[in-house]
A and B are shown apart, each in its own frame.
Chain A
């Protein structure tokens, strides 16, 4: 793909209005999706990790369902739920909110298909934390909130990071549910993946350029997963983010 067209032309093809719009739509929708996944998914995953037995298995199955669902089924499901004639569509319409074929639809579709990647990893990382550690924190005067923030989050950080990277990658490549539920309107709902599909017929060079960009992004994501994993095993030497507050002097 990188050999087909000279690199200079690839970069200039990215400057086309279709590519620039797709990049903007993708950046907007995926940041909102990732924010929602992290903000709601992290406490939800922690809560599930503290459950046991059949109830836990049922919850995990529910969480993992979008993972195995055919994209077309996800798209139909979202339309039935949020479409104008759908289950919740009427309620949103009464509130003056139109969901299907808007950016909100893209966010919903991306969140739906990408969240299992984060949740699965997050649940697993919380579950491998030695249960004596949160218990010790409780006996040291920390309430449940402080135990979560000061013990569980830092001890699961590498798993959470890796899960977020995987969810981001899946969200970036989201295609099927989005095209059915949100359509492919340039500048509104057309993400990078959808733009490749459209430009495939219109301007093959642009399709190639966007594909190349996605390859680079995906490689970066995979690399960051590796870094997150190393962060856990060699946490002494490798510091990706600012270290926790050091001893006051």
Chain B
């Protein structure tokens, strides 16, 4: 079943809008900073917010059509909605929370088993851990046998320790369900792991909607580049030689880019395109920026190192071999094709 969403709605400081189709069994993630209007999209699909102008349909069923004054109330929309912070009913135990959405009591126990919360059936939801609360909320949202699923920040209430495991579980569950899913998150990594396509939202507008790999390969602008993980540096094109632009960064360093551009620009460089060394190597790469190491942050088997304004993501093993410590001089190297230019 394909979900069609198109709407515009005036919010306090900007106009939120979306125009997208979620294919059957497809997960679309909307990412953006908080307050960008991500949740507004979910509320419109669920029927909790009637937009100024809009249309929502699930296959042939029209759920909302402001032009024809169609607005199916939320309780008749067959939508599974996982709320931010989960919105479990604090006055009910786990069993009754799941029962609230279920058509009959017989549906409850299989759901509890499926989410490994049978043992918590009579527990109060206020006493559960973050991971348990998430499973109760998922079981409750699925109790209604929904035709589509809306997930609002499904992982943000979890600590970093449980997050990765829950993320993998959720991916498996979404595959298994085969429903159209709209997920909103402020974390691009969560979006890239969970969704087939990712839309970057800012000020209520979907700036770019593409597969995670396409987003990273060809970000439309500096905002999308920075949101998908790139380091964005302001600078100015000072010279064109052999078709390459020489950009003086505002901080004092300079680099070469293969992109077109003139005057004031933003340069986007993805950390995984940058390699580090203690001396500048003589190779095909055009850019070798030497500066002091500012910070070294281990992230599992990788390490993020900040050299001057540039962030590099290298393996933990390499970071150890190079003995990188704050204050030590290092050289960040990357190709001219890895430095993308966007007008400022």
Q: Are B122 and A138 within 8 A (Cβ)?
A: no
| Stretch among B50-58, B62-70, B86-94, B217-225 lining the A interface | B86-94
**Once bound together, how far apart are the Cα atoms of A150 and B99, in whole Å?**
12
Q: Are A138 and B83 within 8 A (Cβ)?
A: no
Query: Hey, which chain A residues are within 8 Å of B96, CB to CB?
Result: 244, 247
**Once bound together, how far apart are the Cα atoms of A188 and B74, in whole Å?**
52
**Once bound together, how far apart are the Cα atoms of A141 and B46, in whole Å?**
11
Q: Are B81 and A136 within 8 A (Cβ)?
A: yes
Nearest residue, chain A, Cβ from B124: A236
Q: Are A138 and B48 within 8 A (Cβ)?
A: yes
Instruction: Convert A123-160 into 0s and 1s, putting 1 for each residue whose CB lies closer than 8 angstroms to a CB of B.
Output: 00000001011011111111100000011001100000
Most B CB contacts (10 A, CB to CB) among A140, A142, A150, A235 go to A140
Given A138-B74, A140-B101, A236-B124, A133 and B140 touching (CB < 8 A)? no
Query: Hey, which chain B residues are within 8 Å of A141, CB to CB?
Result: 75-76, 101, 144
Interface residue B73 (Cβ < 8 Å from any Cβ of A)? yes
Query: Hey, which chain A residues are within 8 Å of B83, CB to CB?
Result: 132, 135-136
Q: Are B91 and A143 within 8 A (Cβ)?
A: no
Nearest residue, chain A, Cβ from B127: A236
Closest 7 CB pairs of A and B: A140-B101, A132-B87, A138-B74, A136-B87, A139-B81, A154-B91, A141-B75
**Once bound together, how far apart are the Cα atoms of A40 and B177, in whole Å?**
46
A-B contact pairs, 14 of them (CB 8 A): A132-B85, A132-B87, A135-B46, A135-B87, A136-B83, A138-B46, A138-B75, A139-B74, A139-B81, A142-B75, A143-B75, A151-B89, A154-B91, A235-B91
**Once bound together, how far apart are the Cα atoms of A88 and B75, in whole Å?**
43
- B4-44, CB < 8 A from A: none
The count of chain B contact residues (Cβ–Cβ below 8 Å) is: 32
- A202-249, CB < 8 A from B: 235-236, 244, 247-248
**Once bound together, how far apart are the Cα atoms of A226 and B124, in whole Å?**
24
Q: Are A137 and B90 within 8 A (Cβ)?
A: no
Least CB distance, A36 to chain B, in whole angstroms:
27
Q: Are B73 and A137 within 8 A (Cβ)?
A: no
Given A133-B87, A141-B144, 20 more A-B residue pairs with CB atoms under 8 Å apart are A130-B87, A132-B83, A133-B90, A136-B83, A136-B87, A138-B75, A139-B74, A139-B80, A139-B141, A140-B100, A140-B143, A150-B100, A151-B89, A235-B91, A236-B124, A244-B91, A244-B92, A244-B96, A247-B95, A248-B105
Most B CB contacts (10 A, CB to CB) among A130, A143, A235, A247 go to A247
**Once bound together, how far apart are the Cα atoms of A138 and B74, in whole Å?**
6
Query: Hey, which chain A residues are within 8 Å of B81, CB to CB?
Result: 136, 139
Nearest residue, chain A, Cβ from B121: A247
Q: Are A247 and B87 within 8 A (Cβ)?
A: no
Nearest residue, chain B, Cβ from A236: B124
Query: Hey, which chain B residues are within 8 Å of A135, CB to CB?
Result: 46, 48, 74, 83, 87
- B301-333, CB < 8 A from A: none
Query: Hey, which chain A residues are within 8 Å of B105, CB to CB?
Result: 248
Query: Hey, which chain B residues are within 8 Å of A247, CB to CB?
Result: 93, 95-96, 121-122
Query: Hey, which chain A residues are within 8 Å of B184, CB to CB?
Result: none
Interface residue B147 (Cβ < 8 Å from any Cβ of A)? no
Least CB distance, A64 to chain B, in whole angstroms:
29
